Structure 1
Amino acid sequence: MPFQVPSQTKLPARFSLALTSVSASILVLAPLLSSVSVNAADVLEEVTVTADFRPTTLEESTASISVVTEEEITKRGAQHIEDTLNAAPNVNMASGASRSRFFQIRGIGERSQFISPINPSVGLYIDGMDFSRSGGSATLFDVDQIEVIRGPQGTKYGANALAGIINIHSTEPTNERSGKIEATLGNYGKQSLGIAAGGPLIKDKLLGRFSLHTNQSDGFMENDFLDRDDTADRDEFTGRGHLKWLANDDLTVDLKVLHLDIDNGYDAFTFDNSRTTLSDEPGKDTQKTDAISLKALLDINSSVALEASASYSDSDLGYSYDEDWGYVGQFSEDLYPYSSFDEYLRNRKNTSIEGRLLSNEDGRIFNDKTDWVVGLYHAKKEEGLTRKYTYLESDFLSQYDTENTALYGQLDTEINDKLKLITGLRVEKWKADYTDSNDNKINVDETLHGGKLGLEYELNDNHLASTSISRGYKAGGVNTDGTLPENLLDFDTEYLWNFEVGVNSSYLDDALTTRITAFYAKRKDQQVRSSIVELREDGSTDFTDYIGNAAKGSNYGIEAELHWKVNDKWRLKTSLGLLQAKFDEYTDPQSTANGLDLAGRDQAHAPNYQYSLGAEYSITPKLTAGVTLEGKDGFYFSDRHNARAKAYSLINANLSYKKGDWTATLWGRNLTDKDYDVRGFGSFGNNPGNGYITETYTQKGEPRTVGLTVSLDF
């Protein structure tokens, strides 16, 4: 389906550039497509989405969803979710660590965390467990699929889903014995090994699956001062376990456990923005997590089902870095050099319990027209911080505890054979208590609410249209630095009204599917991260980080995806995201002496366009080749300054050979070795050699990375 813009509509320049680029790519592919025949029997595989109240197929879901399958994960050589998200339109990431810890959907999401606690805008769920503040947890071995749901999910997920959620679903145990062994070797000393096995422990009664995986790499940074190439290394271990008890025809119980042991180096920033550092005290990015969840699904009778779940996780996280990026003796004393090290040690405990009732076929109400869900959710999160910092006389200690209880419900009403009405509402009681070693005590107690009103209309068997109005929210919070003025010690809840229209279509006897969504969101009391910059006596820079509320913001755009199984040889998968994320009104009073007026400017980490163009060709029944072109527009690193990342495009490719149970995949990412940035800071100086002049400093993205993955499925 061609994308057309009415002649009277004038798109921003970057939108026009994106459309021109995509159109040019399609023209390049056109001669190729014209030479192949279309076989209507080549139907696309059905994809089931699990993130909603009830599982549904991707074609029947009217939310703006992208799904990355296990096959796509393998062909990318992906070990972490950061290796996959460029394929999802209007999704961005922020690094500033060994991995991308923070995610942005439609320009909304956190970018970093230092001393202050955060409430996330994008939820991250792994097998139903909440890891929204710990993005490093998203390793991918033995993962069945990744689901990215854009837009506020206020009814089901509440305060963690202002912008959307990312849902990772690991491979389920089945009644058949199965498993795999997978090994990978690549450049930069990359080596990984994983094993997974599952099947019936008691036939038709108790099923199980477990997996173990280790991933190691030297990283792509070199430290010339220490003469090492592994100061940004990766050492990641993941263990998963799943028991499924089929108690009887009416009751199923799932027990899942997750163990993570991540011991990565962090040595990323340099004075010349290169991949060669001079740090004498390289940092670390570590995480040790043990998590467990229990879920039961009981068909009480033909009218009502009960779904109950509980989860607990305990994580120790460490994040540290060499603040001066150099070594003692690098500069003469008359240049006023400094040396400091900053370390943040966090312990996070998350506990949640949830119960919901869902209608079965005989339990539909309102003349047998309406399916319904009603649920109760309670969660408690505890976060303790110890900050060890050169410029502190003693360690800084803080404790941030939150507790939220929510009641929610949703009705799905079939008005007639073609039209369905969706109404959802969630009311949430939010409490937060903060204390620290500077004698700060801040308490937050408020009631939040959000939900959704939507319509789905089946135009015919091949086209499903939808429209919706939804309200999302993110709780207010605290700023923890005692040097801040009193009016900046806390900030208010942010609300977002989101309007969407979309069409899901299928063509050529389901060989070609498209999903197109247009959205418009208004943000109220928008939470914005900023900082006060002060010079120390030695000439170095000190940051006081804080979050404040902007007046208003508008985020609008389009998300489109196309998947086409042309015939038994060719398959195409493309996506395009167009985004305008603007401040309507906002002046940051701390950015400069007179304040930086951001009205009309793009919000941070909100590229105006993002695209993915992929093609796969079966050379023989056993040999397949694929190539993907991915790109995104430049974007502001922060709302505090005007430093920007440049636009970039990356080429990824794979060659996969399968014989029997064996598969060998040669893969490469960023094959042209494009230089691009994944995190940046501006408006401060850190280099004694040039008098601490204000500069922009960036963290580089992954260079050309190639590897070979061999797997045995049994």
Structure 2
Amino acid sequence: MKAINAIRLMSGLSALALVTAPTFAGAQEAQAEASTGGISEIIVTAQKKAESIQSVPISIAAVSGEQLSAMNVTTLQALQGSVPNVQIDNFANTPNNAVFTIRGIGVIEPDPYAGNTVSIVVDGVPQFFSMGALLDTYDTGRVEVLRGPQGTLFGANTTGGVVNVVTNQPTGEFGGYLRGTYGNWNRFDVNASIEAPLVKDVVSLKVSGIHTQRDGWVTNVWNGEDMGRKNVDAVRGQLRITPNSDLTVTLQGEYVAARNGAPIVVNGGLPGEANHVPEGTFWNGAKLPMYRSPCAVPNQPCVAPDEYLSGNNEVPDQSDMTTKFFVGTIQYDNTALGDITAITGYKRFTLFEYTDQDGTAKTNNATRRRTQGWQFSQELRSSFDVGDRFNAVAGLFYLKTDYNHYQMYHLDFALPGLIQYNVQDQATESFSAFVQSYTQLTDRLKLSAGIRYTHDKIDARSTLDTGLGSEALTSAQWDKFDVVFPGSLDVGGKKSWNNVGWKIGLDYELAQNQLLYASWARGFKSGGFTGRIGVAADGDTPYGPEKVDTFEAGLKADFFDRKVRANLSVFYTNYRDMQVAQIYFDPDTNVQGNRILNAAQSEIKGFELEMQAVPVDGLTLRGSLAFLDTKYKNFLYFDPVAGSTLDLEGFALQNAPRWASTLGANFTTKLPDDSSVVADVSWMYTASKFYTAVVNTPRSTIQPTYYVDALLTYYGPDKKYSIGLWGKNLFDKRYISTVYDSPGYMGLVGYAPPRQFGVSAGFNF
């Protein structure tokens, strides 16, 4: 427990002496250590115990809260491109939905029925829903990114890995901070925290919060106004009770209110497709003409223009999400059963949003969507030692979730007044028991072995009604039809799965601060039922679970009195029954279909190399290089558009760029009055990838990206205050961030953020 408390006290502006941008994630917080001029030790809890990141035998990156704060990062999505072999995106027409892909393993589907392959864990509580998983990062201690299957300690749905978010916990001391930011696009942030002991050394209360807002950087051709504005308020309260040195109880509650602009869909249509709108035409009294499709050249990748344009003439500019999140943690050390940890989590959210699905000023198609969901989880575990050479973590975990979702979909491009009304009701329940052990075979050789049994079950029902309606999307009678067509769908069912996953590994200490490791891990993701159905075949039978076996070897080493650090991991993954989400246009029914397929087998191999160096006092250099080779080994795919079966053997997986790299430099100058100046610059490269299409088509290809970020910050004496300049995407590169190729319908395109810059100031007390 003392080690964990030490982690909570690690936050401080001194961490900025080395790294201060998200691109430092690959550098793993290598801040200069004042006493030795070398690279400091970083403490993480990736294996549910406090230990140095260099002694954890897995591929892991860590980003400190100070780094996030210095570059004014307010959501996890800002880490995109900064962690090797990790992609952090969102779905183009549902930006509240996270799309995390690690080493080519991820889920690209906006609705909850698809589940996750990368688990987002906040203060020990897994976030089941991808909606809202692009967390607001305020008063954050650190973000740990664990690559590869983590099923033994973190359970199902971690075949890709885990993003472990740890917030700053109460320390029992009075203090706090106030920070403000102003930037282009009328960005304005206020972030504050205060802690006050209520009973000295026994009860302490902490309250933190953030307000962030900005204008959108996309212009609406219909009315000339901006699209994609952001306005978020969040507050977190924490009560820490320590009746004695062995017992700590922490109660934590959070409320988040996001009142953002409607999702943006950019029309990437081609002539002859259902949603193509000719360039230069005016519709419904639009102020601006229809823009050129970014995918206007057939059989070529889409290209982002210098000016970002879209269109919304049909629906309110509204995307509202309200989240309530509670965590109760009991840590009881030195019991007869070891150190006991109990974590209770409860989360409830409501997401309500409108989307002009054609992205034009023409009345083609639009949606009104509302999702209400909740989850309850309970984990009880013990960490214990047996003698001097054996220790283990063992526990039980329970999770129950439920969500209700409706989508009212207007398809005027197919038939004026045509409406599809889809309702999803799904409940899941999961129980697991696990143990992870560590045995010191010799003074230098350690065996780790773990196993987890999981029982998952699902109860799902989805309905679809199709007909004609005169009611607008904004009408209170949003489910009213003037005429209901025959053939309404009512599908779903109940299903359960059992699984045994494991991990076994060896690590060998070559020398001081030099670790060699190898492991074999099996991960598991449950099956389910498709919820957003378009045709009968979409949801009448469940899709099956998927499994991965990952073999990994790595080296973690410090050299030259800890002035150089080199971490290398090499891996091979055998991926079976891979779940592949597909949105397609069904030419027989003239409607959009949705389904999840099980690809028989695929394989993934690659490496991650991360390096840091401190050649002279005050200067830190960092860099990373990642390689990823993904392909289907056995996948016979029926293409509904072509009406034929394709053999996809050798085709690459989605959202898996072959190469990625980062470079950065940080220089800290100490001034005589104990103040300092920190300058930092970073460069990120991500190779081409293809996004949401089962078959790698030109229109589904995302171009390579190159970003340069920088900052210059002055810290006053004793770090009491700071003021700095910062910039992201300094060269204002314009890129496509997401595109879904739906032949016959259109390409649904999203744009990456343009240049952002501003000034920030902070005060600590």
Q: Tell me the CA shift for residue 244 of structure 1.
A: 1.5
CA displacement, residues 294-321 of structure 1 (integer Å, 9 cap, x when unaligned):
1111125366221111111111123431
Deviations 1:448-480 (A, max 9, x none): 121200111111113111100000000011123
The aligned counterpart of 1:543 is 592
Runs of 5+ in structure 1 lacking a partner? Answer: 1-36, 329-337, 687-694
Cα deviation 1:612-648 (Å, max 9, x = unaligned) = 1110112454211111000101001124341201111
Tell whether 2:704 aligns with 1:651.
no
Q: Does 2:405 correspond to 1:385?
A: yes
Q: Which of residues 373, 390, 396 is equivalent to 2:393?
A: 373
Partner of 1:400: 426
CA contact (8 A) 1:131 1:137 kept: no
* Structure 1 equivalent of residue 68 of structure 2: 73
Which TM-score applies when normalising by structure 2? 0.82
Q: CA deviation at 1:532?
A: 3.4
Residues 349-377 of structure 1 show CA distances to partners (whole Å, capped at 9, x for unaligned) of: 00011111220xxx415xx4210222111
- Answer whether contact 2:97 2:110 (CA < 8 A) is retained: no
Q: 1:527 aligns with which of 579, 589, 607?
A: 579
Determine helix, strand or coil for the equivalent of 1:226.
coil
> Residues of 2 paired with 1:187 and 1:614: CA distance?
24
2: CA distance, partners of 1:521 / 1:671: 37
Distance 1:696 1:434, change over 3 A: closer
Q: Which residue of 2 aligns with 1:632?
A: 686
1:237 maps onto 2:233 in alignment: yes
For 2:342, give the aligned amino acid: A
Deviates more, 1:621-630 or 1:303-312: 303-312
The answer to whether the aligner puts 1:463 opposite 2:514 as a matched pair is: yes
Match of 1:678 in 2: 737
Q: Given that residues 40 and 509 in structure 1 are in contact (C-alpha distance below 8 angstroms), is that contact kept between their aligned partners in structure 2?
A: no
Query: Does the Cα contact within 8 Å between 1:623 and 1:656 map onto a contact in 2?
Result: yes
Mark the runs of 5 or more structure 2 residues left unpaired by the alignment: 1-31, 269-292, 295-304, 412-417, 464-488
Shift of 1:698: 2.4
Change (3 A) 1:696 1:339: closer
When residues 486 and 260 of structure 1 are mapped into structure 2, their CA distance, relative to the original with a 3 A threshold, is: closer
* Counterpart residue type for residue 671 of structure 1: L
Q: Counterparts of 1:80 and 1:486 in 2: how far apart (Å)?
A: 33
Q: Does 1:595 align with 2:645?
A: yes
Are 1:305 and 1:357, in contact at CA under 8 Å, matched by a contact in 2?
yes
Cα distance between partner residues in 2 of 1:112 and 1:397: 17
Contact 1:186 1:707 in 2 (8 A): yes
Tell me which amino acid in the other structure corresponds to 2:726.
Answer: W
For 2:516 and 2:133, locate their aligned partners in 1 and report how far apart those are by CA, in whole Å: 37
| Residue 352, structure 1, aligned to residue 377, structure 2 | yes
Q: CA deviation at 1:82?
A: 1.1
Q: Counterparts of 1:433 and 1:468 in 2: how far apart (Å)?
A: 36
| Mean Cα deviation higher: 409-418 or 677-686 | 677-686
Q: Say whether residues 1:251 and 2:231 are aligned partners.
A: no
Cα distance in 1 for partners of 2:390, 2:703 equals 50
Matching residue's letter, 2:148: G
More displaced 10-residue stretch of structure 1: 459-468 or 433-442: 433-442
Deviations 1:190-233 (A, max 9, x none): 1111111124222111123211101101121111311212x210
- 1:163-242 to 2 correspondence within 5 Å? 163-229=160-226, 231-242=227-238
Match of 2:330 in 1: 296
RMSD: 2.2
Q: Which residue of 2 aligns with 1:343?
A: 368
Question: Do 1:682 and 1:697's aligned partners in 2 also have CA atoms closer than 8 Å?
Answer: yes
Which deviates further from its counterpart, 282-291 or 594-603?
Answer: 282-291
2:612 to 563, 566, 576: 563
Which moves more between the two structures, 656-665 or 96-105? 96-105
Name which of 554, 559, 563 aligns with 1:507: 559
Show the 5 A alignment for 1:78-227: 78-95=73-90, 96=92, 97-98=94-95, 101-114=98-111, 117-132=113-128, 133-227=130-224
| Maintained 8 Å contact 1:98/1:285 | no
1:578 positional shift: 0.8
Q: What is the CA–CA distance in structure 2 between the aligned matches of 1:685 and 1:675, rounded to whole Å?
A: 27
**Aligned in 2, Cα 1:533/1:595: closer, same or farther, shift over 3 Å?**
farther
Structure 1, 93-102 or 73-82: larger mean CA deviation: 93-102
What amino acid is aligned across from residue 710 of structure 1 in structure 2? Answer: A
Which deviations, in whole Å up to 9, do the C-alpha atoms of 1:102-158 show, x marking residues without a partner? Answer: 1100011112314x6121000011222222423444111111111100000011111
Is the partner of 1:83 in helix, strand or coil?
helix
Q: Aligned-pair distance for 1:533? A: 1.5
Check whether the contact 1:528–1:639 (CA below 8 A) recurs between aligned residues. no
Letter in 1 for 2:701: R
The number of residues matched between the two structures is: 651
- Given candidates 307, 313, 330, the residue that maps to 1:280 is 313
Cα-to-partner distance string for 1:29-79 (whole Å, 9 max, x where unaligned): xxxxxxxx9999213232211232211111111111111112221232211
Specify the alignment match of 1:47 in structure 2.
42
Between the aligned residues of both structures, percent identity stands at 25
Measure the CA separation in 2 of the matches of 1:303 and 1:280.
63
2:347 to 313, 318, 342: 313
Which residue identity is paired with 2:743? Answer: F
Q: Distance in 1 between matches of 2:393 and 2:747?
A: 50
